[in-house]
Each structure stands twice: as C-alpha cells, then as structure tokens.
Structure 1
Amino acid sequence: MKFRLRKKNYFNRILVVRTDRIGDVVLTTPVLKALRENYPASHIAMMVNPQTKELLEGNPYLNEVIVYDKDKKDKGILGFWRFVLELKRKRFDLAIVLHTKNRLNLITYLADIKRRAGYKNNKFGFLLTDKLVDIRPLGLKHEVDYCLDILRKLGLKISDKIPYIAVKKEDVDSVGNILEAEGIGGSAARFTTGRDIKIAAIHPGSSCISKRWPRERFVVLANRLVEDYGLKVILIASGEENEAIANEIAKQIRYPVLNLSGKLSLGQLSALLKRCVIFISNDSGPVHIASAVGTPVVSIFGRNQAGLSPARWAPVGRKDAYLHKEVGCSICLAHNCNIGFDCLKAITVEDVLKAVDDILKA
C-alpha cells in the first residue's frame, strides 16, 4: 500500500479576509486563483462586507462567501461575538487577512484559526502568525502584488495576476433587456441599424475630488466618441454626488446617451461593462471590474501621493491604459491639493482619445 505524504503547509479550510471597497476586493481575486491552484481540494472562502458580496458570486475558485456586516447584523459586542462563534464553527485552519484592521486580526484569532497571515501595521498585528511589514502605503508596486506577497511568504506558486469576476447569466439577460429596450443591443439594434451597436461606457465619478477629471471634458469626450468612432455612450455612476455629476454631463452631450447612473447592481454593472468595447473612467472601483471582465480600460489618474498612485492602483488588464501627468509637485497632497488639481487638468481630451484609439486599433 502506498501513502501520499501531505505537504507541510497544507490547509484544508482557507479564509481570505477583505472587507474594504470594490476595487480592493476585485484586486484580491488573483489570490483566490492562486490558492485554488495550490490547494485544489481545499475549501476556500472569502469574507467581505455586504456591498461587495455580489462581486464574488459564481467565482469558480471559491466555495463560500462570508458576509461580515459590522454596521447591522454583526454590530456591537453581541453581534461581534456571534460572528466570531459562527466563524469558529467553520473550523478554518488558515486566514489570509488582506484588510489591515485591528478588528479583523482579532476576529481571526478569536475564531481559533491556527495560521493567520497578513500585513502588520496596527497594534493587533502581533496576533498574526505569518506577517510582513506593511510597506503598501509607500506604493512601490501594485496592490495585486502586495496581496500575492502574502502567498509567496507561505511558499505558494503564483501563475497569474489578472483579476477575475464571474458574470452571471441573469445579469447578462437583465442588461440585455435594458439595452434592447433602448434599441442598443440584440434584435432591436439589428432591426434599426443592421448591426449590433458598439458601446463605450463612461464613469465620471469617484470617491474623492482629487480623482475627478473636469466634468466638461467628459462632455467633449462623449461627443467625440460618437463623432469619431460611432460609439453609443452609456454613463454610469453611483452615490448621490456622482449621480448628480453624471446627470449634468448627460444633459450637455449633443447626442442621445443612455444614463444608467444609480440604476445598476454590481452584477448588472459587470455584465454591462463586459458588453462594452471600451470603458473610460476616473480612478475608481468600476475600473477594476471592467478589467476583471476583460473590457479594455482607460483610467484617468490625478494624485500621485505614495500609496495612492497608479503604481499601486492602475488597471492591470492586458489591454488597459492609464493616464497621469506630473505637474512639478514635490509632494502630492491628494484631496488637500492647493493648486486646483493641475495634474488632472493637464490630461486633455486628446490624450484620452489617443489612448482610446490605440486600444481600439490594436
């Protein structure tokens, strides 16, 4: 009889922890693929917040998505301990903590997860059993590589760095119905134009003023996409302030545009972006969704503060491009900029169109 020796660092049940924002979660997906390739028979779960759960549904590398809702269901001391006990019952033997928060280090420790790997940059970092010094704020390399460095510390092999999101059929069908109703996709488009219409999506919003390209330039850009490339322009945005920006832009564009701001779930957004030939956006979460579904991206960057720059947060798809211009700042103050975000203003409509042209003609 032959016996197969198990690897020293073999883990049966693995938990990946990332409870921050959309882009952060998407850029963690290469970790899931690497774990599955190294541990094909293991149970792999990911712990996220309620807002990003949908991004992981249908992911072929995951067995389970665990939602940690610290503002509602898991709020307060009772909610915290209830969640810890639920996690403990799942009997994970490895936690990879990629969101460096004291609370998360404590949760994985109290849940009796024997190996806890992550970055040490807070007072509960000592609870990690396998740790790296957190130099991510220096922005010396991309966030994907920072995530994968934890796996490298555990001795795992990495084959791919491209993010991945599964697009669900129900979202494809839902978006298809929306486009068909507007005469953009499917049989309606073929009936009116004899062909499927090519779509460019634009996202003029972002989480911070230091990441917003002037809105009037999005207006000019949209007009040129129609005139120069015959593209149908769709606007997307979420959140009250960003939706107001998109609504204002939509009113000023000379041609009919479809404004879906505030009308799509994350799953529907993924399906829509997959349908596009190009996506143009400020630095934001949807940039990484587009990359993850294989749609070429042009991402507009302003701030170059260490840890916030394109060196760490640019899109990583094989056909993606990002635009950033230095304007002589010795230190980037990001949202506290005192020269009116000249780095963003330095990026012209022609700069963006050149990037679009290079992608579409490649």
Structure 2
Amino acid sequence: MNQIAGAKIPSVVRRVLAVTIGGLGDAVLFSPVIKALRYKYPRETIDLLVASSIAEELYSQSEYLNKIFLVRTLKKRAILNVIGLLPFCIESIKVGGYDLAVLATGLNPGLRYVLQYLANVHASVFAPLPGVMGTDIECNLQLASMFKQDASMAEVFVPLSKESLDEALGILKEHGLGGADSPLADYIVIYPSRDLPRRVRWPLSKLIEVAEDLKEKHRGIKVVIVGSEAEGLEWAREDTKRIADANLAGILTIPGVAALISRARLVVGNDGGLMHIAGATGVPVVAIFLNTPKSYRPPGKHVRLVTPALDCCSPRGYVPHLAADCIDKCIAVSQVVNACADLLNESVEHK
C-alpha cells in the first residue's frame, strides 16, 4: 500500500474512496481533491468517507460524489476509532473494496492500515502534513494536482443548491432582511464558535462589542448570527442590547448556512468550520486565531487573520490552557474592528 503523496496511481481505477476523517473545516479544505478526482475519473465510482455529520450533510448536495459514508472515529482512544470504522469496512468488502483511496492530511496511520487490510483498499495516496509543506489548503492542492494538472482549476468549493439558497433567502425575509421579491440587505455574519480542548475562543462579549462598533460605523449594515443552537442561546443571553438583527444559530441546515454565508458582505468569527465555508464561497473573512496555527488559515483571497499581540498567547501550535486574563488582553476589539473595516471598504466580487 503506497503511503506518500507522490505514490504511483493504479493504471486501472474503477472505484475511488476519498477520506477526510476530521471536522467540518477539514472536509471543506479537502474539496479540491474531490473535484480533481471527478475530473480524472468522470464515470467511475467516487465515494467519500467522513467523520462529521455536518460534513456529511454539506456534501450530500455535491454532484461529484456517488455515496457518502459517515463513521464514528473522532474518539480519544484509538481502539474506539478502529471499532468506528468496522461497519464501513464490512460495506466496502461487500462491494469488492476500492482500487484507490485518497486521504486527507493528518489521518492517523493506524486508521490507514485499517482501511488497507479491513476495507480492501488496494492503493492509497495522502496529502503531506501542514506546517511542513505549507497550509492545509496548499497540502490538499498539491494532492489534487496529482489528478488534475492545472491545480488552479481544483479550487476549494462548497456545494450550493437552489434548495439551500431558497432556505437562506426565506429565513432572511422572515427576519426583515430582504430576499425573494425584495432587495437583500447588506449583512455581516458572526459565528461565535466554541471552546474545544485544543482551541480557545475569543470571548463572546468582545464579539458583541465588534458587532456594535461595526453597526455604528457602517450605517444600514445588519448583523446575523450563525452556529449551533447552544451558541445561539449563549449569544441571546449576552446580547442585552440586541445588537444582532437575526439570531439564526441552530435554525438553518448546514447547506442553508453555507448559502446564507455566500450572500454576506463579511464573515467574522473564531477558528472553526464555518470560517472555512466562508472562505470557500469567496466571501471576505476576518478569522480570530487565539492559539490556532496559521497553517489552518481559511481559503480565499480576502482573508484577514487576527492573532495575539502578546507573547503569552503566541500561537506556536496548540496551547492547551491560556490564562483568562491573557485571553482577555491579547486581542483588542479595535484589532478585529479594523480588520473588518479594511475588508468592508474593499470592492469584492464574490464567486
């Protein structure tokens, strides 16, 4: 089983398995590979293996894929990840396995061996590690170039259907922000994201300050909140001045959120999957990276990273625990507001 990005691809390929076992953002950054595979194999079977239910929901609308398999492999204990792959392995054996597996960067080597021996995968290639070879997207573009020589044609993409656009426009109309037969309001999207064991979130109170400042300085602009239901409830509790014009967190489907983001003037938020969706649609993005490596930056030409100014928060890889006072001080509200103002003042032609 070949295990380097430059490995030889089998001369005869009838069934391909694309594998991105990570979060939503990882799946979005893997999209150039999916597109390049369909270009290389226009009539062959191309299936996708994901570990995120929201990634499955997003790519269910993609014209490039035959089938999507969801596995439960985001566990702390390796044995649980192996067990999570077993149902897929059984399905794979039933259909004769795959001639080629194409793996996203960062896949655990143990899981690669499970796919090889238990899922009947004959050969595989995978993206190099980010940081060493560049950003996540650069690594995936390098992998995509193996299947489509003009790598610039294999751009990051998010599937957007008429149904998802109708969903987004309908909810905007319900909240008085236009859509359907009335002009669409200028709006910015804010996503709070959430703290994870290795990812620290900029305080929600400061995002609310950013929203208030932007509305004061850019008259007529509206603020829309997206994210999970829990994030929406948290915003509602802290947004005592009712700065947000529409709190849609937990209301839309993931394809609907992607469509909503695609029509926004600007997207602002912490590191997370929606940041990558925004970049993939071509919308300007202000991404707040407290302790996220810059190699995870979102795709797109109109991206501003806001990173800590203090050494105690310097993002040298993931920092498990940052002191509360450091989190509070290391990125000022003015830094984020200024980054937003720069992008709002630019003339951006969306994809």
| Residue aligned with 1:251, SS | coil
1:21-44 Cα distance to aligned partner (Å, 9 max, x none): 110111100111222333334322
| Residue aligned with 1:52, SS | helix
Match of 1:238 in 2: 228
Residues 333 and 164 of structure 1: CA distance in aligned 2, closer, same or farther (over 3 Å): closer
* In the alignment, structure 1 residue 114 sits paired with structure 2 residue 99: no
Amino acid at match of 1:106: V
Match of 2:99 in 1: 93
Deviation at 1:187, TM superposition (A): 5.5
Residues 68 and 328 of structure 1: CA distance in aligned 2, closer, same or farther (over 3 Å): closer
Match of 1:159 in 2: 151
Match of 1:227 in 2: 216
Query: For residues 156 and 72 of structure 2, what CA distance do their matches in structure 1 show?
Result: 24
Match of 2:298 in 1: 315
Structure 2 unmatched runs, 5+: 1-8, 75-79, 347-351
Which segment is superposed worse, 76-85 or 210-219? 76-85
TM-score with structure 1 setting the length: 0.78
1:107-146 Cα distance to aligned partner (Å, 9 max, x none): 3432222102237xxxxxxxxxxxx6xx44x566211222
Query: For residues 258 and 106 of structure 1, what CA distance do their matches in structure 2 show?
Result: 45
Query: For residues 165 and 320 of structure 1, what CA distance do their matches in structure 2 show?
Result: 17
| Residue aligned with 1:280, SS | strand
Match of 1:265 among 253, 277, 281: 253
Aligned-residue identity in percent: 26
Residues 226 and 63 of structure 1: CA distance in aligned 2, closer, same or farther (over 3 Å): same
| Residue aligned with 1:270, SS | helix
* In the alignment, structure 1 residue 294 sits paired with structure 2 residue 286: no
TM-score with structure 2 setting the length: 0.81
* In the alignment, structure 1 residue 170 sits paired with structure 2 residue 163: yes
Which segment is superposed worse, 326-335 or 215-224? 326-335
1:43-102 Cα distance to aligned partner (Å, 9 max, x none): 22211133321121232332332233569xxx9999855431311215420011225232
| Residue aligned with 2:120, SS | coil
Amino acid at match of 2:160: V
Q: Does the 8 Å CA contact 2:188/2:221 hold for their aligned counterparts?
A: yes
Residues 293 and 77 of structure 1: CA distance in aligned 2, closer, same or farther (over 3 Å): closer
1:211-262 Cα distance to aligned partner (Å, 9 max, x none): 322222212211122222221101122163x344322333334x45211122
Deviation at 1:265, TM superposition (A): 1.8
Question: Computing the radius of gyration over CA atoms, which structure comes out larger, 1 or 2?
Answer: 1
Q: Does the 8 Å CA contact 1:26/1:55 hold for their aligned counterparts?
A: no
1:8-157 paired onto structure 2 within 5 Å: 9-49=11-51, 50-69=53-72, 81-88=86-93, 89-98=95-104, 100-101=107-108, 102-118=110-126, 135-136=129-130, 138=131, 141-150=134-143, 157=149
Report the count of equivalent residues: 324
| Residue aligned with 1:302, SS | coil
